[in-house]
Amino acid sequence: MKAFAPIYCVLVCGVLFGCTSITEIRTEKPADNPAILPEPKTDTAAFLACRTGSKTKDENRLIVEDYANYFIGFAEFDDQGWAYKRDEQLAVIKSRIDADLADPRYADTDFLVLVFAHGWHHNAHDNDCNVQEFRQMVRLAAEGTQDAIKNKLLVRQRRVIGVYVGWRGESVDAPALRYLTVIDRRDAAERVAKGSVRQLFANLHEEQVSAQRARMDKMRTVVIGHSFGGLVAYSAMSQGQLNDLTQASLETPRYCDPSDPRGNTRPAAAVWPDSLILINPAFEASRFEEFHRLVMERATCIPPLTQPKRVLVVPSLIVVTAENDRWTGGVFTVGRSVSTLFEGYDRTDPSATQAERTANLHAIGFVPAYVTHRLYLPPGDGSAPAIASLSPASPGKTNVDLPVWVVTASKDIVNGHTGFLYARLTGTNSNGTGKAPEPYLANWLLDLYSKDCSAAPEMMNCGQWATSP
């Protein structure tokens, strides 16, 4: 009977609690001549409700969704972090990117690869709000690129490729009980980060290296993780980024040293991915400490703004946390206080003890010592773009080219834990004008890659890719 105990547990769970199945969702391989799909619907009401995806009749099961100016591939991983069917989806995505890079139509085109890892409660079903929101992110990036070309902010076309990282973020599909799976799903996210998703990232890195043989700036990769998806992205990518940033830091000009002969050139070491963006990441800040120490070595080193030409840079790691995110705020801290009750801390001195304890009990965006910027909307009717100001406001002491930003966002931009694309829970902005929600965070991130050269003529590479710090 003991041998059948796991089976009985699964059956009981399935009958009483509605366990979700551990199977791939995206099973349909692309045709030889795939049909072009219509532009994804902008259903902000559905985005704001942010429902978990579920199986429906005749749902979209495409591994690759082809749109007019971009495509989106889906890579799924099971609870042990393995890709399904011996990496079949990964092979399909790689083959499609290979084909685009070899296509003569894109010989003079740049490529922007956007990777998104979802968090708790979500999956790769067609009706999952994270799937629908990611489609909008990729669409916005593609449209923003065309606008930048039209306004002469970019010198070359960019083709956008989306890759959605799916896993079983919802293990119990039952009201109330689904919130009891937080520890279980956190552990699953850890296993996903250590599993075949690393092969996906290795494939994408290989694609970029291959593309750079034709032209050094032909491809850039941006990895985005939300909630436990932030844990997946950070756990899988952070060691490589830390290695690259450490090397880059050694090669970076010492701005505080007037005798340094290297002037204002950028480091030769490449940092990959070009940007790692964590939105409301649901893991303890103590994992971030080495990045904080690395950037603090350069925090008070100011680039010589008097030099005639400077290079446009984009942070390699950006952490964005909503100021009113209770799940990675108060709830997270209470949970960590209980689960780490018997853990010890550095007793060298009281300040070391307090710093380590604070980082262990809080998410990154809720540790004041780590915060570098605040993202907010300027006063007005809500039509102006979001602004990132230094936090604390000390431009005379903070290096504006820091490779790591920790940004807190006002609720107008990121509302709570899930409102990161369309933030407002109502149809009005902070001034009550009744306008439809705006994708402020997506637009702000996109603007980092398209600078107005007339407003920043001192930038050497305006109209081209920004470089990694």
| pLDDT computed for residue 313 by the predictor | 67
Cα angle value 60/66/69 (rounded, 5°): 140
Answer yes or no: are the C-beta atoms of 361 and 281 closer than 8 Å.
Answer: no
**pLDDT lower than 70: segments of the chain:** 1-18, 249-269, 298-313, 391-401, 424-436, 449-469
pLDDT value of position 203: 97
**Whole-number pLDDT of residue 327:** 95
Question: Given this model, what pLDDT does residue 268 score?
Answer: 46
Q: Report how far residue 334's alpha carbon sits from residue 89's, in angstroms, rounded to the nearest whole number.
A: 39
Which pLDDT value is given to residue 363? 97
pLDDT of residue 424: 56
pLDDT on residue 398? 55
Q: Which own/partner pairs from 339-342 qualify as long-range (CB within 8 Å, at least 24 positions apart)?
A: none
pTM, two decimals, is 0.88
The pLDDT score that the predictor gives to residue 402 is 80
DSSP 409-447: E-TTTSBTTTBSSS--SSSS-TT---PPP--HHHHHHHH
Distance CA 415, CA 88 (A): 37
CB-count exposure of residue 9 (10 Å: 0-12, 13-18, 19+): exposed
- Cα distance between residue 109 and residue 157, in whole Å: 5
The answer to whether the beta carbons of residues 345 and 357 sit under 8 Å apart is yes
Query: Which residues, 6 or more positions from 249, have their beta carbon under 8 angstroms from its beta carbon?
Result: 267, 294, 297, 298, 403
Q: Are 138 and 70 in contact (CB under 8 A)?
A: yes
